[in-house]
A and B are shown apart, each in its own frame.
Chain A
């Protein structure tokens, strides 16, 4: 074994000269490509002059830096990453069973710890950052991330379990939000009445949209759901008498604490409990509502996976024809997945409307659907832990970019880090897919066992054709 190792190393060293030459050649090619593509896009900046005509400004320094980075990246890739990957492939033959078991263990201790953490999170934030500082951490981070966790859990039923790729999930989120907003303003119903109604409406829409399209397969289903999502958004924009178009609906009543509003008035929450008024109380209250909703979604999904319907969803993802040969009505099974997924989307939408107090079609673009699908796929299809981790990473990560004001000190005051948020978001999606194509957690935990629960390796799990 040792001699073999030496001989391999020798071979590597001998081939080293050739490898370096090849790496330099690759780097030169990538440098030229970068120069060609970035030359016009970065090196030349089309700016409007005073008369409104476009004029070109050169940004050669920036261009040189970027091309240099590409060349360096290419060299790094072929001289460091590739040999490292090869060495790893040589020393670590394959994922061995012990690793699989360790991951099952992870699945056992992680959820309780995570739930305990999110349960105390607002108070932790309050303790660490004080009253005024914690708003950001509870609202922008906590609530925002939990909304996407919930949406991810909901879509996970459709995409992860049933294997139906839905690129228009935001439609149900919109249905939930608009039905809450309209019914609240029209009939003065409270949030807690509207929440279930919004879920029912969204589920009905799910059935209505799902019925004609669920016999479609593969990417066709994806594209029709995308079209439905866009149609709903366009109707929201154009049906001005009802939806108020682009201007959106404002003044949606905020939820109350058993009838006590979170205002500074004498009947408000702070006065009632003898506290000094702070907007933080509403934030904490909203945080716990969305936490409860997300946990409800997770709990229901866990239950469903152990019921025949959940198993039928997963079987559908594995092999639809076999399902039919076993007497499973696949249309109904798909519709149930679609409707239940839509219902949770509706709940989330309802919460979103009441949290913002204002909604407009801007919040329901395809980008939202894409983000939610990305969270589900990045997390690992079907894995709720994975979905939650992916939501924290993607949403939390992009929110963190808002915090990079210190970069202004380095790049000058014209530098605005927030405009790089989505750019990095997209870039991260590509990188994570290349790093882990099956998502962060690719193993599947069986829903039932005879002697011992053993995780199923991701390479065996089907990905659905719908």
Chain B
């Protein structure tokens, strides 16, 4: 067995309470670089809440979420950074970010964590291409001299925009949307909207891509194409993937590592084949008593 890949993201004793409701309770897990990690669990298990905490949309009640860019030695600085109260540490050989301390837009801009949404959030009145250019807002802002130079037409904005369009074209080709580039995003069929949302997230150059139920509502053919796309992202773009998924075929086929949540608590964590045989997981997932697990298993073909 080869040396496991270095850790990219570490979620440490994450707890999220809404009033009296404990949505996530002391959750710890980590994802490794170059891997696809699946976060699964029954409805209401708190998966999307975990995503919202990682991407800065919710401030967790307790816990630490850290991500490292560059050399894995950066992890050694974790405790010092936590004590210091800062939210990031950038050295020559890498950087360390504490996501729970960062506002949502900086999680994307600096820590390079991108996400998609369970109920697709596209800019539906703007074209597919425009959607992808908005994802490149920050580099383009620099290129336009924070608008001032851009208005006057000074500087290299035109060149930067052409490069941005090229990058968009690359992702449109990968997601098979190139023919629809000038159509409004809201006019696309559902499956294409899902792919566009992934393409848009990828245009922010993330190190970690968080996909919230990317296969929901897709037909088997689209679902298979999606698997291909996610594998391509992992293998060719140096981006690790964290995904929430209900579709077990997707999870088992493409993920390298599975974390199972139930009522905000982690009940299993391991390779897909380990998790799929875990009695606790089957019971939680299928909502049956332990003795009926076998029957249920047979039914779903596990």
* Complex-state Cα separation, A300 to B183, whole angstroms: 26
Check A96 for interface membership: any CB of B closer than 8 A: no
Minimum Cβ distance to chain A for residue B122 (Å): 7
Decide: A336 and B147 in contact? CB cutoff 8 A.
yes
How many of chain B's residues have a CB under 8 angstroms from any CB in A? 46
Does A87 sit within 8 A of B, measured CB to CB? no
Q: B135 interface residue, CB < 8 Å from A?
A: yes
Least CB separation from A330: chain B residue: B105
Q: With an 8 A cutoff between CB atoms, is A323 at the interface?
A: yes
Partner of A446, one of B104, B127, B141, B186: B127
Tell me if A304 and B184 are in contact (CB < 8 A): no
CB distance from A325 to the nearest CB of B (A): 5
Question: Within A415-466, which residues are at the interface with B (CB < 8 Å)?
Answer: 444, 446-454, 456-457, 460-462
Contacts of A124 in B (CB 8 A): none
**Does B105 contact A314, Cβ atoms closer than 8 Å?**
no
CB of A307 within 8 Å of the partner chain: yes
Q: Which residues of B contact A314 (CB under 8 A)?
A: 123, 125-126, 130
Does B97 reach chain A (CB closer than 8 Å)?
Answer: no
Contacting residues, chain A, for B114 (C-beta < 8 A): 325-326
CB of B129 within 8 A of chain A?
Answer: yes
Contact B123 A319 (CB under 8 A): yes
- A350-389 vs B, CB cutoff 8 Å, 1 = contact: the mask equals 0000000000000000000000000000000000000000
Q: Which of B57, B123, B165 touches A315 (beta carbons < 8 Å)?
A: B123
Are the CB atoms of B121 and A322 closer together than 8 Å?
A: yes
- Residue among A318, A449, A450, A454 making CB contact with B124, cutoff 8 Å: A318
Please, how many angstroms separate the alpha-carbon atoms of A314 and B117 in the complex?
Answer: 20
Are B57 and A318 neighbours in the complex by a CB distance under 8 Å?
Answer: no
* Chain B residue at minimum C-beta to C-beta distance from A325: B115
Q: What range describes how many residues of A lie at the interface?
A: 35 or more
Residue of B nearest to A450 (CB): B181
B134 at the interface (CB under 8 A from A): yes
Best-buried of A314, A315, A336 by chain B (most CB within 10 Å): A315
Shortest C-beta distance, B77 to chain A (Å), equals: 24
Answer whether residue A324 sits at the interface, using C-beta atoms and an 8 A cutoff: yes
A17 contacts partner chain B, Cβ-Cβ < 8 Å: no
Also in contact, A456 and B126, with CB within 8 A (given A312-B134, A449-B182): yes
Q: Is the CB of B104 within 8 A of A462?
A: no
CA distance A457 to B185 in the complex (A): 11
Q: Which one of A300, A315, A457 contacts B134 once the chains associate, using CB atoms below 8 Å? A: A315
Docked CA distance A453–B124 (Å): 16
B119: min CB distance to chain A, Å: 11
Is B170 an interface position by the 8 A CB rule?
no
Chain B residue numbers with a CB within 8 Å of A318 are 122-126
B residues less than 8 Å from A325 (CB atoms): 55, 57, 104, 108, 114-115, 117, 121, 201
B137 CB–A CB distance under 8 Å: yes
Q: Is the CB of A326 within 8 A of B147?
A: no
Max count, chain B CB within 10 A of own CB: residue among A300, A319, A330, A450: A450
With the chains together, A329 CA to B200 CA distance in Å?
17
**Contact present for B147 and A449 (CB under 8 Å):** no
**B130/A454 in contact, CB under 8 A:** no
> Is B130 a contact of A311 with CB atoms below 8 Å?
yes
What are the residues of chain B within 8 A of A453 when measuring CB–CB? 182
Is B276 positioned at the interface, with any CB of A under 8 Å from its CB? no
In the bound complex, CA of A466 to CA of B72 (Å) = 43
Which of B108, B121, B127, B181 touches A327 (beta carbons < 8 Å)? B108
Alpha-carbon distance between A448 and B153 when the two chains are bound, in angstroms: 16
Residues of chain A contacted by B204 (CB below 8 angstroms)? 326-327
Question: Shortest beta-carbon distance, A207 to chain B, in Å?
Answer: 15
CB distance from A355 to the nearest CB of B (A): 27
Are B137 and A304 touching (Cβ within 8 A)? Answer: no
In the complex, whether A309 has a CB less than 8 A from a CB of chain B is: yes
Q: Are A311 and B127 in contact (CB under 8 A)?
A: no
What B residues does A412 contact at CB under 8 A?
none
Is B134 a contact of A309 with CB atoms below 8 Å? no
Instruction: Report if A449-B105 is in contact (Cβ < 8 Å); known contacts: A307-B144, A309-B147, A319-B122.
Output: no
B residues in contact with A457, CB < 8 Å: 184, 187
Which residue of the partner chain, among A304, A319, A323, A447, contacts B147 with CB atoms under 8 Å? A304
| With contact pairs A447-B130, A449-B182 given, residues A327 and B109 touching in the complex (Cβ less than 8 Å) | yes
Contacts A446-B130, A448-B129, A448-B165; A326 near B137 (Cβ below 8 A): yes
Task: List which A291-333 residues lie within 8 A (CB) of chain B.
Answer: 300, 303-304, 307-309, 311-312, 314-315, 318-319, 321-330
Known: A324-B105, A330-B105. A462 touches B134 (CB 8 A): no
Closest to A333 in B: B137
| Smallest beta-carbon distance B140→chain A, Å | 4
Separation of A326 and B184 alpha carbons in the complex (Å): 19
Give every chain A residue within 8 A of B74 (Cβ-Cβ).
none
B residues in contact with A323, CB < 8 Å: 105, 134
Chain B residues in 8 Å Cβ range of A328: 105, 134, 137-138
Q: Distance (Å) between the CB of A258 and the closest chain B CB?
A: 25
Contact of B127 among A329, A336, A449 (CB under 8 A): A449
Contacts of B147 in A (CB 8 A): 304, 307-309, 336
With contact pairs A311-B133, A446-B182 given, residues A321 and B106 touching in the complex (Cβ less than 8 Å): no
List 9 A–B pairs whose Cβ atoms lie within 8 Å, in order of A's numbering.
A309-B144, A319-B121, A319-B122, A322-B117, A325-B108, A325-B117, A444-B126, A448-B127, A461-B124
Q: Beyond A307-B151, A322-B123, A462-B124: 15 further Cβ-contacts under 8 Å?
A: A311-B137, A314-B125, A315-B123, A324-B57, A325-B55, A325-B201, A326-B114, A326-B204, A328-B105, A328-B138, A448-B130, A454-B183, A460-B125, A460-B187, A462-B125
